[in-house]
Each structure stands twice: as C-alpha cells, then as structure tokens.
Amino acid sequence: MSTFGKLFRVTTFGESHCKGVGAIIDGAPPGMELTENDIQPQLTRRRPGQSKLTTPRDEKDKVTILSGTEYGITLGTPIGLQVPNLDQRPHDYGEMDIYPRPSHADWTYLQKYGLKASSGGGRASARETIGRVAGGAIAQKYLKLTNNVEIVAFVSSVGKVAMPFVHELEDEEPVSAEFYDMLNNISQEEVDKDITRCPHPETAEKMKETIMQKSAEKDSIGGTVTCVIRNCPVGLGEPCFDKLEAVMAHAMLSIPATKGFEFGSGFQGTKIPGHLHNDAFVRKEDGTLGTKTNNSGGVQGGITNGENIYFRVAFKPAATISKDQETASYDGAWGTLAAKGRHDPCVAPRAVPIVEAMAALVIMDSFLQQQARKASAALLPSVEIHHSLLGVPPKK
C-alpha cells in the first residue's frame, strides 16, 4: 500500500498529472520547530532540471504544510503536506500510446488494475517520491537535533565508472581505509559541489563524460548511490523479520528504478574468509565497545552497533530514452516506438536525496520503536539477573 513505517508513518498520494502530490506524516514527535524551510531544500535537491545532466523540465516543487504544526512547532498530530502539479491535464492519447513502453510500468499497471493513468508514469512516476522526501526531511531534522545523526548519500558509480576504493574492487580486504575515511567525513555540501553528486573529483569528471556521451547517443546509463549514516544510536532494528538491513532494503528497493542493495561488505563480502570478515571488538575512547573493521556495515544480528551504517543501491539506466525502440504494441503487433522529448540520461544524481530520505524514515521508525522498548524496560523494578544473560562471569 502507500504507507511506510510503524510509528513514524508516511502515506503518499499523487500521480504525474493529477492536481497535486503529497503525503501525511504521522507520528512526528511534538515540540519540534518545523516549517516549509526544513523540507523545501531536500525537495529542491530532488527536483529535475537542475543541470544539463538531468531532465530540463522544471517542476518547481513548492511544498505547503497543511496541518500538524502551529506557530512553527509540531503538535504531534499528522502533518499534511502538499505540492501542486503544475501540469494537471490528463495526458491526451497520442499515436505512440499504442505501445507499452519497454521496462516501464504501463503494461503491468494495466494488468494489475485493468486500466492505467493516461500518462504512462502514473503512480510509478518519480513525482511520487516527493512525499517521501518531504517525510524524510522531517525525520532527518529530528534525528540530527536529538542524536546528531548524519545521513549522506552520494553517487559512487555511473555505468562502468566507479569511485576508487569503494568495495566493489577485487581484493581481500573489502573495505579500504580511504573508504572508511570518506564515510566518516563526507557531507551533503561536499556531495553537491559537483552536479554528478560524486564527491571524488576525477571520478566525477569521468562520470560527466559518460553521461554526456549517453545523452548524445540519446541513450541512458545506470549508476549506484552509496549512503552513510553516522551517529546512529545502538540497539535499533528488530530481530527476525524487521532487521535494520531488511527494512532498509525494503525502503531502498521501493525507490523507482532500483535493482540492488548491499549492506556493509555486501556482495564483495561473500568472497573473503570469515577470519577477515569478522569485525573484532575494540574498546572505544568513551569506554564502550566499537569494532576495528566495519564489514558489518554498522549492524549485527539486525541491530545497530553504533558504527557507521553504509550501503549501496543500484539504479538501472532510465527506461525512458530519446531513441526509437522496436517493441510490440498492446495488441501484440511489432513496431517502432518513436522517441520524443529529452530525458534524464542518468537518474543516480537525483536519487541522492531520495535515498537519504528513505534511510531517514527507516532510522526514525526504528528509533521510535526502540524508545518504546527502552523506556518501558527502564521502568521495571531491578531484579537479580543470572550472569549468563548479562555476558559477565559469575560472582565469586
């Protein structure tokens, strides 16, 4: 359905050409300062038309908070958010509409619902992500204010051009010190310095070349987005079905055009032996435990351990290309779907704030769940607990 989360819940609505898109954010803690200014920047980062690398259509997504705040403070009640669609006409049928667009949702929507929005995008349109990004911005603000949680995503590859020292490379130690360094230090500002949203300048240059070339060829290309979450509290995530990485995978694969997700050492981690993969514990400066390496990606047994959470998301090449395509029409006749318009040759740069938003929703919801547990356990009278349950030796 159109709702994500258990205690911090985002419910979205809207297609490409309806009157507007938006969301209801339920469960935001009361007493937090919140205005449109906290939400608009991430929406603007998400917006197409920001550069020649992205689609030129300028949607000007201006968000309005309809409810849930007064005098700029959250009330704890549902926050209604809306962004009008500037082009509200249902699409008029054109010659090319006899073809379901390859690798789009036209045909599957028609199968699922018996009909589909007149413009192919419909609910599968990237416009649907506006509500998510808005909800994510609220979560990001809360997490930053209360736990200094920092969530930063960046483009780690475009086509075959990948940042060095990311964990895709073939070697024994899947994660390099340079990569760890970057995870520790990267900021949204740094990411936004380049229109590719790749923070490694040489790689960014090559990515631009690749994207421009695909654009010139009226083609598209995929890419990967890597995301790091710093200062995430320990203890988040539920054992069993709602392990943190499982919910994160759910969140990420729900973003349009995604094809893969890997966490910590990821696919590369399958290739190295256990003694190298295991993250030895070390005492941290503050006296608590941390891990020496971080192949676990900040999560062990589905539960955060306080180390950096990091993961990578695969985005396929955009299905909309400016090239003619041979394909069958709805009634099965083979023909040519003529291209029209110009299109975003690579969605990865625009996906960065969406990945951050979804990550924030996952952390926020897990945090609220764990707060319920922690606060309720804390009220129990102290009882003697067998040392085996506490990981300490028996008292002499």
Say if CB 237 and CB 366 are below 8 A apart: yes
Verify binding: residue 235, its own copies, rule CB under 8 A: yes
User: Which run of H or of E encompasses 356?
Assistant: helix 348-378
Say if CB 337 and CB 324 are below 8 A apart: yes
> Closest separation between CB of residue 246 and its own copies, Å?
4
Nearer Cβ to its own copies (15/61): 15
The Cα–Cα gap between 305 and 299 comes to 6
Q: Could you give the count of Cα atoms lying within 13 Å of 80 in the half-sphere of its Cβ?
A: 4
17 is a catalytic site residue: yes
Verify binding: residue 302, its own copies, rule CB under 8 A: yes
The single residue among 241, 341, 395, 396 that binds its own copies, judged by CB under 8 A, is 241
Residue 145 CB coordination number (10 Å): 12
104 is a catalytic site residue: yes
Question: Tokens 């003694």 identify what position?
Answer: 275
Say if CB 346 and CB 222 are below 8 A apart: yes
The single residue among 45, 46, 47, 123 that binds its own copies, judged by CB under 8 A, is 123
User: Which run of H or of E encompasses 80?
Assistant: strand 79-84
Per-residue contact flags (x/-) with its own copies for residues 124 to 153, judged by CB under 8 A: x---x-------------x--xxx------
344 is a catalytic site residue: yes
The single residue among 116, 200, 208, 230 that binds its own copies, judged by CB under 8 A, is 116
DSSP states of 122-146: GGGSGGGHHHHHHHHHHHHHHHHHH
Nearer Cβ to its own copies (188/366): 366
Nearer Cβ to its own copies (188/369): 369
Per-residue contact flags (x/-) with its own copies for residues 348 to 377, judged by CB under 8 A: -------------------xxxxxxxxxxx
Verify binding: residue 341, its own copies, rule CB under 8 A: no
The single residue among 188, 305, 309, 349 that binds its own copies, judged by CB under 8 A, is 305
Nearer Cβ to its own copies (49/235): 235
Choose the catalytic residue: 91, 104, 250, 277: 104
Largest CA distance in the chain: 85
The Cα–Cα gap between 229 and 177 comes to 17
Which span sits near its own copies by CB under 8 A: 29-37, 43-51, 52-60, 196-204? 29-37
> Closest separation between CB of residue 34 and its own copies, Å?
10
Q: Which residues contact 243 (CB under 8 A, 6 or more apart)?
A: 237, 299, 301, 302, 303
> Closest separation between CB of residue 102 and its own copies, Å?
4
Catalytic residues: 17, 104, 344
